[in-house]
Structure 1
């Protein structure tokens, strides 16, 4: 490298979504459709290969029955929205393979849909390191449920890049950032914004890093 060169490394990252159960249940049919279309873009526009495309969804709050109801209406809407995206045979095989690998590693405990569902989804108890390494995208999502958004902080790690959040107040999201461990999560965005590029990426201000600044101090007075 030249003495004046600058090197930036963008490592493989993992991204997630957090949905407030009560807010999903409160959506009208049209609102739910728009939410599903936005999330489908986030997840499937590049076949879930982008680092910022969510691969796991956390349901926050609600009783067991409420979560089941929210999941049922959400997944139907997301499947409808996903129908406009390509679903080639190799992607079907890849996500089924990933689902079985994650089930064997403990990342997924149940698969609540047909194996040819698009997206395919599996439910787990806790997000694991093997899941982050093994999950290859291709239209596969893992689901988890938590009582409170604050509990999400302890589930995250430095590999996690983007959190797509829906249904939360700004104050709740700020409170979450104060509890994050280390470098966990560099972006919190709304549905439909996961793939939007920003000059601040992976926690780095690219304008600051990639531009040269000459600093001139005040003249010394003798």
Structure 2
């Protein structure tokens, strides 16, 4: 590709942070070793800026990201890698393609690339989100600090339309490509070739579920908090995140009573804080009709409004997730044993969240049955808490190269 063509491509890119010169110079930067102290210090400064921002406090996902970037938090995660850090280096330039439906995902992906020692090109979500703007503003303020100006060349946060040429240009530039998106997005972007030694990390379509022990739930004295945790797992992203539970499994001896209290507590929060658009309401009902037309024993449970759609299942069938929806659409099933989950434990099953269920029982179920799916088992309310091992992939290991030395 000649220089003029490069200029034409670069002129189509809009920069939130960085410039054309920054982008073109990235391959010449020396990679850091993982968890470099300068990077940890910068992230801690970024955290402080976010957490003191009154505007950010309106968005729980932004505040959660701020806490995640604290030095104390990063150092806890660093412990898992201390035995190999001294032999690892960032791979070079990481090109992150963020999803359009989870506002803060771009920031976590970028920080994972940075902690691994890479320079980072981040394609921001195509939709406008206030959360994105708040994080970008905090980044810009902290990068202006003389202490961190040397890190500025390691960031290019960009936007561009549907342009195969730009994607090809950036893919040819990078050493690692990280794609967060649906299966169709991944297939389309994969048409853009990478350098021979470059690697790719894909986070494809996944689905998640939750399991609640009714007896333990009814004993709980903090039911409002439990409802709030579930709300954060689901409604904060319109139930679009791969981590958002789509089916709720109930166990125990007092399931009906637990259901009544749980959904009432959730409805109180949803009515106060969530607005469903007409197109979302129609989509939920259309999905319910399709499910009812193709499966036996499907029953809609009466609710006070269309903010929560509850669907009772008579059977567990492996194609149920083909009929998942969002914006407050929940299938429910009463479990007698965890083995009943197996038809749904396909490779697309990402996160199983739980309340009141013995974690050892879940771990034993996974160990004994070795399903293709379930990459994460986490307490309810933490499904969106980002970790450096995600979808079963250790990001620090994948985003670095290991220098083996022999005596």
- For normalisation by structure 1, the TM-score amounts to 0.89
2:323 and 2:376 mapped to 1: Cα distance?
A: 22
Cα deviation, residue 17, structure 1: 0.1
Cα deviation, residue 55, structure 1: 0.5
Confirm or deny: 8 A CA contact 1:153 1:181 kept in the other structure: no
Confirm or deny: 8 A CA contact 1:52 1:194 kept in the other structure: yes
Aligned to 1:40: 231
Q: 1:111 is paired with a residue of what secondary structure?
A: strand
Aligned to 1:156: 345
Match of 1:76 among 246, 264, 275: 264
* Structure 2 unmatched ranges of 5 or more: 1-193
Q: 2:354 is paired with a residue of what secondary structure?
A: strand
Confirm or deny: 8 A CA contact 2:250 2:333 kept in the other structure: yes
Q: 2:403 is paired with a residue of what secondary structure?
A: coil
Match of 1:54 among 222, 235, 245: 245
Is 1:7 the counterpart of 2:204 in the alignment? no
Higher relative contact order (CA 8 A, sep 6+): 1
2:327 and 2:296 mapped to 1: Cα distance?
A: 17
Confirm or deny: 8 A CA contact 2:235 2:274 kept in the other structure: yes
Summarize the Cα distance change of 1:110–1:45 in structure 2 as closer, same or farther, 3 Å threshold.
same
Summarize the Cα distance change of 1:156–1:108 in structure 2 as closer, same or farther, 3 Å threshold.
farther
1:9 and 1:168 mapped to 2: Cα distance?
A: 31
Aligned to 2:357: 168
1:89 and 1:36 mapped to 2: Cα distance?
A: 24
Cα deviation, residue 148, structure 1: 2.8
Task: Please say which structure displays the higher CA radius of gyration.
Answer: 2
2:309 and 2:333 mapped to 1: Cα distance?
A: 14
2:198 and 2:274 mapped to 1: Cα distance?
A: 41
Q: 1:164 is paired with a residue of what secondary structure?
A: strand
1:44 and 1:149 mapped to 2: Cα distance?
A: 26
- Richer in helix (by share): 2
The count of residues paired between Structure 1 and Structure 2 equals 213
Summarize the Cα distance change of 1:181–1:133 in structure 2 as closer, same or farther, 3 Å threshold.
farther
Higher alpha-carbon deviation: 205-214 or 122-131: 122-131
2:277 and 2:218 mapped to 1: Cα distance?
A: 32
2:269 and 2:231 mapped to 1: Cα distance?
A: 6
Aligned to 1:85: 274
Cα deviation, residue 85, structure 1: 2.0
Cα deviation, residue 171, structure 1: 1.8
2:297 and 2:276 mapped to 1: Cα distance?
A: 22
Cα deviation, residue 11, structure 1: 1.3
Summarize the Cα distance change of 1:180–1:107 in structure 2 as closer, same or farther, 3 Å threshold.
farther
* Structure 1 unmatched ranges of 5 or more: none
Match of 1:125 among 293, 302, 314: 314
- For normalisation by structure 2, the TM-score amounts to 0.50
Is 1:95 the counterpart of 2:284 in the alignment? yes
2:394 and 2:269 mapped to 1: Cα distance?
A: 34
Aligned to 2:209: 16
User: Cα RMSD over matched residues?
Assistant: 1.8
